[in-house]
Chains A and B, each alone.
Chain A
Amino acid sequence: MNRRKFIEQTCLACMATTAGISLFGIGACNTTQVLKTSSTNGNVLIDKASFLAEKEAKLIRVADLEHDILVLKEGDSFSAIYLQCTHQNNPVNYTGSGIVCNAHGSQFGLNGEVKTGPASIPLKKIPISHQNNQLSLTIK
């Protein structure tokens, strides 16, 4: 096999794998909705009605925050975690069953607790209060 063919086939294989996983992912509805918003007086307001399922996760993208906030709904209770790794402040990724940091491999539970280092401090929890039909996240 010559080098051109190798590069072509490897790249096509990667793209095919990505496409295959994408199709599998779409079929499995494996996406997390991102809600873009802004803050007012240090608070972010989210409509509770936007959470449709009994158990649901949303990523809140606030204009003046560098990282997203993960809001989890389970039944009637909500929790919010700031998605910044406590090891070296890299962004972390919500995987559905946990939260991981690709920089150095730290893994966190859905409560933000450290499951695998090198991070040693839990992820920051965002205080949530209920205002009528809205959730208020305090970011400052």
Chain B
Amino acid sequence: MKKLLYKLFLITCISITINSSAQVLTKEDSLNAGLVAKDVSTLIGGYGEAAYRNDIDRKNASINLTRNVIFIGHKFNNRISFFSETEIEDAKIEGGEAGGEISLEQAFIKFNINRNNYIAAGLFIPRIGTINENHLPTTFNTVARPRLETKLIPSTWRELGLSIYGTIPAISGLNYSAALMNGLNSANFEGGNGIRSGRFEGKDASASNLALTGALLYYVGSFRIQVSGYYGGSAGLSPREADSLRLNSGAFGTPVAMEEANIQFRKSGFYASALFAAIQIPDAEALNIAYAKNVPAAMMGYYAEAGYNLLEKTKYKNKKLISFVRYENFDLNSALPTNAIENDQYKQSYLFAGLAFLPLPGVIVKADFEYQTTGEPNPALVINPSPVAPKYLTNRSFVNLGIGYSF
């Protein structure tokens, strides 16, 4: 383990010392209002979205103020800044009622090493997938975030730790990031919900297990290409507690691994993207013995999207009317340990087709048709089925309308 940590330290050092002539490319940065740097300044921003959803098959509809986020940043000096995002979901939080949440999406201090590299310490969002980092409603076309990037990659996924970002100077457009943060809580993993409930999100996280993430992001021509990986422990218990549950403790005990790759292309009003992600939980069998939550050994999925700005060749250069289509397919139990029960309901595909209108870059109006397909739920997993429950529909259609803003 010491040798491994030493090798990782060397790799990190090599990465940040390859630094000569590239321009700066960092995730968050200073708060200048003009060209010449001010000593201290504070910035306020935000984003939000609302959504209407009509279930065509069940003949009912809902409408919700999905989220409203306030961003506050403060620059202490040219080297040190603070960034935070506070989110309110569902507009109202009332004791005893479901829904609604107030949380910090980010709260970190940024230390500029130099123009090419910086360190973030605190609650941050690791670079995994596309939505996790770029989750403003004006940056995706559907009313809701891509299903794969909420159910498989649990966006927005933020944890506490230390991260480093920078550029690879030998190649213009190539960026790296790496992070050390607290691991997940496998006691909350559940079949059909992936690892989403295992996030600590900055609240009373166990630091008994740790996680490493890394990503390479490359802009070349009209392409944006990213690969990322995650490996972290998830027991979060003392050795005694873990032993009693027959789980592996330690920094990387009861591990979770994730791999992700995505590519985007934009040119002349045409847009295309594709993403693949996979998660492995090698100790799923032990987790099911400990917690009996039908945890899978693996999950995987992909999506592909294409769109075109119908106003590209018109005089309305500042506006966009994007027609798009996206297909998503993922399986939340693609591999199972011997003591898990397969559920075809967790094999899901989604087809979206719609329009997104941006009268200006910070405002978006969306409309999409969503066609959802799942397998049949396994009756062995339905405990005390209600005699009046409606028949499960493996194919469902929805019409979604939404508005969003960011500034």
Could you tell me if A95 and B36 are in contact, using CB atoms closer than 8 angstroms? no
User: With A89-B29, A91-B29, A117-B139 given, is the CB distance from A64 to B170 under 8 Å?
Assistant: no
A124 to B255, CA, bound (A): 47
Interface residue? B360 (CB, 8 A): yes
Could you tell me if B170 and A31 are in contact, using CB atoms closer than 8 angstroms? yes
Least CB distance, B52 to chain A, in whole angstroms: 22
Least CB distance, B302 to chain A, in whole angstroms: 20
Most buried by A among B4, B173, B227, B257: B173
Of the candidates A24, A65, A100, the one whose C-beta lies within 8 Å of that of B37 is A65
A68: which B residues are within 8 A, CB to CB? 23-24, 115
Could you tell me if B168 and A18 are in contact, using CB atoms closer than 8 angstroms? yes
Within 8 A of B (CB), among A51-104: 59, 61, 64-68, 70, 82-84, 87-98, 100, 102-104
A44 to B257, CA, bound (A): 50
Interface residue? A116 (CB, 8 A): yes
Of the candidates A7, A8, A82, A89, the one whose C-beta lies within 8 Å of that of B30 is A89
Of the candidates A3, A17, A61, A107, the one whose C-beta lies within 8 Å of that of B115 is A61
Q: Annotate A9-52 by CB proximity to B: 1 below 8 A, 0 otherwise.
A: 01100110110011011100011111000000000000000000
Could you tell me if B23 and A59 are in contact, using CB atoms closer than 8 angstroms? yes
Could you tell me if B172 and A64 are in contact, using CB atoms closer than 8 angstroms? no
Of the candidates A14, A15, A18, A70, the one whose C-beta lies within 8 Å of that of B229 is A14
A92 to B266, CA, bound (A): 18
Could you tell me if A102 and B172 are in contact, using CB atoms closer than 8 angstroms? no
A124 to B36, CA, bound (A): 13
A92: which B residues are within 8 A, CB to CB? 25
Least CB distance, A129 to chain B, in whole angstroms: 16
Give the contact-size bracket for chain A: 35 or more
Question: Number of contacting residues on B, CB 8 A?
Answer: 70
Could you tell me if B173 and A140 are in contact, using CB atoms closer than 8 angstroms? no
Of the candidates B31, B169, B171, B361, the one whose C-beta lies within 8 Å of that of A89 is B31
Least CB distance, B367 to chain A, in whole angstroms: 18
Could you tell me if A115 and B266 are in contact, using CB atoms closer than 8 angstroms? yes
Of the candidates B36, B231, B407, the one whose C-beta lies within 8 Å of that of A118 is B407
Could you tell me if A3 and B362 are in contact, using CB atoms closer than 8 angstroms? no
B133: which A residues are within 8 A, CB to CB? 102, 104
User: With A68-B24, A88-B43, A94-B23 given, is the CB distance from A32 to B406 under 8 Å?
Assistant: no
Could you tell me if A118 and B172 are in contact, using CB atoms closer than 8 angstroms? no
Could you tell me if A90 and B26 are in contact, using CB atoms closer than 8 angstroms? yes
A91 to B216, CA, bound (A): 18
User: What residues make up the interface of B, taking CB atoms closer than 8 Å to A?
Assistant: 1, 4, 7-8, 11, 14-15, 21-33, 35-37, 43, 45, 47, 71, 73, 78, 115, 133-134, 136, 138-139, 167-176, 212, 214, 216-222, 224, 227, 229, 231, 252, 255, 257, 266, 317-318, 358, 360-362, 406-407
Closest 3 CB pairs of A and B: A117-B361, A25-B171, A93-B25
5 A-B interface contacts by CB (under 8 A):
A10-B229, A32-B23, A34-B23, A116-B266, A140-B35
